[in-house]
Amino acid sequence: MGSNAEANGNNRMTAEQHRVRRVVIVGGGTAGWMTAAALAQQLGGAGLSITLVESAAIGTVGVGEATIPHIRDFNRALGINEAELMARTSATIKLGIEFRDWGRIGDAYFHPFGAYGEQIGPAGFHHYWFKAKLAGEARDFGSYCYPIVSARNGRFRPPPSARSGLLAFNYAFQFDASLYGAFLADFAQARGVERKEGKITDVIADGASGFIAGVRLESGEEVTGDLFVDCSGFRGLLIEQQLKTGFEDWSRWLPCNRAWAVPCAIQDPAGPYTRATARTGGWQWRIPLQHRIGNGHVYCDSYAGDRCIMSPTSATTRPSGATCAKWNGPTA
* Residues recognised as catalytic: 94
Closest CA to 36 of 54, 18, 56, 60: 54
SS3 316: strand
Closest CA to 204 of 224, 229, 179, 182: 224
**Strands lying side by side in the sheet with 316-317:** 108-112, 96-100, 274-279, 282-288, 293-299, 258-264, 316-317
The whole-angstrom separation of Cα 117 and Cα 168 is 10
The whole-angstrom separation of Cα 283 and Cα 295 is 11
Report whether 292 contacts 280 (CB < 8 A).
no
The whole-angstrom separation of Cα 302 and Cα 251 is 11
* Cβ-count burial 227-244 (b if 16+ within 10 Å, e if not): bbbbbbbeebbbbbebbe
Report whether 257 contacts 268 (CB < 8 A).
no
Report whether 116 contacts 126 (CB < 8 A).
yes
